[in-house]
Chains A and B, each alone.
Chain A
Amino acid sequence: MFDPGTKRAWQSITPTPELKQRALQPTQKKIVRFPGGNLVKIIGPMAACLILVLALLQFGGKPELLVNGQSIGDGLSLQPPVAMSRAMTQGFSLLLETEAALEVSGGTLEKQDSGTLWTVDSPGEYTLRSIYKNRSHTYTLQYSAETGLWTLYPGE
């Protein structure tokens, strides 16, 4: 697939020499002690269960949205194709994988075998809404001329 020159170029990427010192510095395991002794032992697990239940209530039923095979999390930066770096006027495509219905503020949605391809024609800011079980979640796709990256993040 790749010629020896390409492999050689890739394998020439090495970390800075300082990383070795950082990586091999033995670390002390931190022991965190809570005040309250046995009370914390009893209430702690109950609080953890309550937080888990609240989290499930909050996020249950929200299907995962994968973008180009990656989870969005708090935000996802995507590198445009090489041609995009050269010509800022070109658009951008994302492959969205989710069970939810999708609506976008601009560009086109095209159903494919592996998901839905969202194509926008020019750099800018776009909104994506996923709708599942009558609940909708909004995401924003934004191009930064400063970094040359497209970023998709939850919220408006």
Chain B
Amino acid sequence: MEPQSTLAAERAYDAHAAQLYRVAYALLQSRESAEDAVQDAFARYLAHTGTFRDAEHEKAWLIRVTINRCHDLQRAGAVRAYTPLDDLIEQPASDNGDWEDDRPVLRCVLSLPEKYRVVLVLHSLEGQSVDAVASQLRLTPSAVKMRLKRGRELLRTILAKEDIHV
């Protein structure tokens, strides 16, 4: 089996890197460490000798590797400096008025326990199906649905405490 070609890696990077980076940031909340995790995921991709059934399989593999790498960094206490969300989200030039209200909601999402945070990010913010998230996290679809339900309930409680309306 041959490792993945640089061309395939570039195509995969263009297709998935931004999403992998956001998932890594949701876990680590550090810009530098999120980039490290994505870089490591692609290093493993380049060395990977297996074949991917389709684009979804490839994406699920990359997300799993990125999440595992994030956990490695957390376990090793190697997560670098915390990056506030405000440093990553810039106000667009054509501000339509609702932009300022989005960041407090996202901050509350990032304050959720990890198991709820990850499924909410993948499903509700990244727009992936329950089945896709289940495949990426190696969970059953019903487990993903349960985490989504509990995560949403917890988020609503936090939003109410913070007096944030969505």
Per-residue B-contact encoding for A72-91, CB less than 8 Å = 1, 0 else: 01111101111100000000
The total of Cβ contacts below 8 Å across the A-B interface reads 137
B82 CB contacts on chain A under 8 angstroms: 77, 79, 147-149
Chain B contact residues: over half helix, strand or loop, or mixed? helix
The answer to whether A2 and B105 have CB atoms under 8 Å apart is yes
B22 contacts A by Cβ under 8 Å: yes
Measured in the bound complex, the distance between the Cα atoms of B71 and A13 in whole Å is 21
Interface size class of A (residues with CB under 8 A): 35 or more
A9 within 8 A of B: yes
Q: Which of A8, A13, A74, A81 contacts B77 (CB 8 A)?
A: A74
The total of chain B residues at the interface (CB under 8 A) is 61
A residues apposed to B, CB below 8 Å: 1-3, 5-16, 19-20, 22-24, 26-27, 29, 68-71, 73-77, 79-83, 95, 147-149, 153
Per-residue 0/1 for B43-68: is the Cβ within 8 Å of any A Cβ (1 yes, 0 no)?
Answer: 10011000000000000000000000
A26 partner residues in chain B, CB cutoff 8 A: 6, 46
Given A23-B39, A24-B13, A29-B47, A83-B162 contact (CB < 8 Å): yes
Closest to A95 in B: B113
Contact A1 B124 (CB under 8 A): yes
B2 within 8 A of A: no
Is A69's CB under 8 angstroms from B103's CB? no
Q: Is the CB of B110 within 8 A of A79?
A: yes
